[in-house]
Amino acid sequence: MLSHLVVGAGLYFGDSIFYVVCFLLLMWIVKVLAWKPVTKMMQDRADKISNDIDSAESSRNEAADLVQKRQTALASSRSEAQTIVNDAKTNGQQQREQIVTQAQTDAQTLKQNAQKDIEQERQDALVNARNDVADLSIEIASKIIQRELKADDQKALIDSYIEGLGKQHES
């Protein structure tokens, strides 16, 4: 039963050629159908993964940079706000002082004006009163004179009076 195993006795060399042709054809088919596209896909995937790792790394760095920038910006804006508040305070202080000074000056001026006015009015009032007194005196005097003029006995008194008035005016 093992007779065909004797080398050269039962070997069919045609088969050998058939196998070689068959196998080469098979290799070509496998290459076209599967090997090329699949290895290409595997290579693409490997590239993609390494790219993804790289891009993840770079975007992580970018994010860290951004955080750094944000923090710096935040710190600077905080100090800026502090400066603004300080300026505002100083300005407010200055303005307050200015206003107070202004108000004091104004009040002083007003007071002086008022005093002047009062003085003026007092003078005016005095002048008026004096004029009024004079007028009244004259009126009274004239009335008295009109009534008493008839009495000739009073004539000497009136004369002396008028004389006294004249002296008073002269002095």
Partner 1 sequence: MNDGPVSTFQFLGLTFSTANIVSASVVFLLVVALVYFTSRHLAMKPTKGQNFLEWLIDFTNGILKGSIPTKEIGGFGLYGFTLFIFLFLSNELGLFINLSLPNGATIVRSPTSDPITTLTFSLMTLMLAQFAGVSKLGYKTHFGNYMKPFKVWIVISIFEEFTNFLTLGLRIFGVIFSGEMLLGIIWKLAVSHGIATMIVAVPLEMAWQGFSAFLGAIQAFVFVTLSSVYISQKLEVEE
The footprint of partner 1 (CB under 8 A) covers: 1, 4-5, 7, 10-20, 22-23, 25-27, 29-31, 33-35, 37-39, 41-42, 44-45, 48
Q: Which is nearer to partner 1, 50 or 128 (CB)?
A: 50
Q: Which is nearer to partner 1, 18 or 108 (CB)?
A: 18
**What region, left, alpha or beta, does residue 11 occupy, with left being phi > 0 and alpha being psi -120 to 50 degrees?**
beta
Which helix (H) or strand (E) is 84 found in, with range? helix 36-148
Radius of gyration for the chain, computed over Cα atoms and rounded to the nearest angstrom? 66
Taking the C-alpha atoms of residue 113 and residue 92, their distance in angstroms, rounded to an integer, is 30
155 and 144 Cβ atoms separated by less than 8 Å:
no
* Distance of closest approach, residue 19 Cβ to partner 1, in angstroms: 5
* Distance of closest approach, residue 22 Cβ to partner 1, in angstroms: 6
* Distance of closest approach, residue 54 Cβ to partner 1, in angstroms: 17
